[in-house]
Structure formats: structure tokens, C-alpha cells
Amino acid sequence: MPVKNRFAELQDEITAWRRDFHENPELLFETHRTAGIVAGKLREFGCDEVTEGIGRTGVVGVIRGKASGSGKVIGLRADMDALPINENTGVPYASKTPNAMHACGHDGHTAMLLGAAKYLAETRNFDGTVVVIFQPAEEGGGGAKVMCDDGMMERWGIQEVYGMHNWPGQPLGSFAIRPGPFFAATDTYEVVVTGRGGHAAKPHETIDPVVISAQIVTALQSIASRNADPVSQIVVSVTSFVTSSQAFNVIPPRVTLRGTVRTLSPENRDLAETRISEICTGIATAMNAEATVSYSRNYPVMVNHDEQTDFAVEVAKSVAGDCAEAPLVMGGEDFAFMLNERPGAYILVGNGDTAMVHSPEYNFDDNAIPAGCSWYAEIVERRMPAA
């Protein structure tokens, strides 16, 4: 079955929802307006249950099929939050909030899942229960983990869970996915190098943390090039180098380095954490300085489950005629927490030739809406077919 006709009929309405979300972006867990609109629409659609405040500002809706004999319960998830970016698209519905923008398409994800929920509540042509999950704080807040920690999976008996992300550069409305590790673990670290400051004209009287930190920055690159298996995926980046003095003629006493680590295996994650500490403290000690390392493990590797990925491919082909193999992504995705709790799969839907996500010029293409809604709905109707 191709794109469902009902979603072509609903496209203008769903587009209006999406553009309203786009015009009124909210960050992290502060998705109060968005969550309120989502909950209101789910009640308007006739969902059997609507619960707010899961994961602080998350919303969960329950839709029961015409029959319940299968006992199956499937979760469908969309994220709601925006990014702290000033928009530069020039569209008439551009963000009205300074330093907040839907630069990753979560407005589109939310609107597509709402569209699917409306259709599923109208038709209920399935045997089982669907749980629609609207999550806050994907962009750095770990909202998926907070919702899981609130007992979401157990409370509604979710057995499988599926999610979707739009993807610029992929043909509009097409799909791509891969089994196994898909999105990387995203860790952060901070290194404080403490030496002895002094006058820049008398460097011999100092222990220069700038020179020491520069050596650390260079040495950290050896983790990927000389410590990790060359065929594995690992990124160690230093993204901030801040001295405790901004004067031209002062050697500062302290430098702070910050960065990120991206890996696709537990082994490389452990390797990176260990080697960052060893390299930083070793170089500092050799130069008579001190390095303090703080390492934070954030989102885990997002791993698609084999059976559910095969099923997601089948559904994607039914909607779009094909489903490509997606590349590995070194960006992070906190849907990983849900996939650690339950088997499931995460798929990409093409956004066409647009600016990349996290860009001030990015905008979700509303023409992807029918394909995305159809995939969500087909996941339910094919996994839990009515008799």
C-alpha cells in the first residue's frame, strides 16, 4: 500500500500544526505549550487515555484497536523540543522566540505522529493497543531516559517501540535504515590544566598551561589514529580551549579544555575514556603541571533490533516502494534509551535537498508529512492486523 489517501487529505491540517510548532519553539523540558497542544489534540481525536507530565513535560496517548485479542502493545515516539539557535530561514512562520528554533525537524516529527494518531483513533483497524509518545528534551536533556525512568514502558505495557527522524539530503519521502548500531554514543569531557602563571616575558619562571594544553590537544588525536582499531568508528574532538587570562602579556595559571567523544561500541567508549585521562594527566605530570579530567557518559549507542528493523523495512517499502541502507551516524539520538528498554527500530525519512539539521537555514519539508504519517500508521496496522 502506498501513502494513505487519508494523509493526503489531512496534509494541510497537519502542516498548519507543524508550522505553529515551528513558530513557537520550546527548549529541552520547557515544552509546556507544545505538550498542551498535543494533549488537547489527542483528547479531541478520542484517544482512550491521555497522560501529561511523563518525563516532566512528556505526553502519552493510548489508542485501543477494534480488538484486543493479540495482547500486543506498540509504542510510537516523536520528539518535541527545539534548539538554541537563531533562525535564518525567512519563512513567514519563522520562530518568534529569540535563540530558539526548530532546527532539527522535531516540529515535523510531532505533527506527523499527531496525524497518525488522528487516523488511528478514527479507524482503529488493528488488534491491540498503540501508545503514542511525545517526548521533550531530546536535544541534550535525555528526555527519553526521563520518560523511561518514570516507568512509561511498564505502566502501559509497551512491548516494541518505533521512532523516526527526517533526513536532509535524502530524497523527499523516501526511507533509510540499518540494523544494529546506528547513531553514536555521545560523551563529553572537561580537562582543567593547572600550571603557574606569570609574565609572558619571563616564561622560564612559569609552568605554562597553554603550551601543555596544546600538546594535549594534539596527543588526543592519537586515540583514533593509534589506539583504536582503524576499521572502527571513533571521534575525539576538542571543541573549546579557554585560558584563565585574556591579556596579551600574561601566561595564565589555568586552561580549560572541553570536547566530545563519539563511538559505536562499548569497547571504544571505554578506550576513549581511559586514554583521555591517561594522556591528559601524563602530559601534565611530565611538564610539572596538574590535569583534572571529568568525563560524562551521555546518550548510549542507538542500536536497532534486527527483527524490528526488518519489519520497519517492509513497512517502508509498502509506503515508498523502497528502503535504502542508511549510513552510520556519529551524531547522537536519545531514542537509544527507549531501544535499551524495549526492542524496536528507528528510521530516517527523506527531507529532500534542504539545509542540514542544526543549521539556522534548516526547515522541515511539509511534503514529507504523508509518507511519515503513513509509515507510523502502517507499523501499527501491519504489526497488529485486525481479523
Residues labelled as active-site residues: 81, 138
Is 245:197 a contact under the CB 8 Å cutoff? yes
Q: What's the rounded Cα separation, in Å, for the pair 329 and 348?
A: 11
Q: What's the rounded Cα separation, in Å, for the pair 1 and 228?
A: 45
Q: What's the rounded Cα separation, in Å, for the pair 146 and 157?
A: 17
Is 176:326 a contact under the CB 8 Å cutoff? yes
Sign of CA dihedral 114, 118, 120, 124: positive
Task: Report the chain's terminal Cα–Cα distance, integer Å.
Answer: 18
Is 23:95 a contact under the CB 8 Å cutoff? yes
206 conformational bin, left if phi > 0, alpha if psi -120 to 50, beta if neither:
beta
Per the annotation, binding residues for Mn(2+) are: 104, 106, 139, 165, 358
Q: What's the rounded Cα separation, in Å, for the pair 115 and 111?
A: 6
Q: Is 188 exposed, middle or buried (0-12, 13-18, 19+ CB in 10 A)?
A: middle
Task: Kindly state the cell numbers that stand for 232.
Answer: 572502527
Task: Kindly state the cell numbers that stand for 150.
Answer: 518514570
How distant, in Å, are the alpha carbons of 241, 259, 261, 267, 364 from that of 233? Answer: 25, 17, 11, 11, 29
Q: What's the rounded Cα separation, in Å, for the pair 229 and 224?
A: 8
Per the annotation, binding residues are: 104, 106, 139, 165, 358
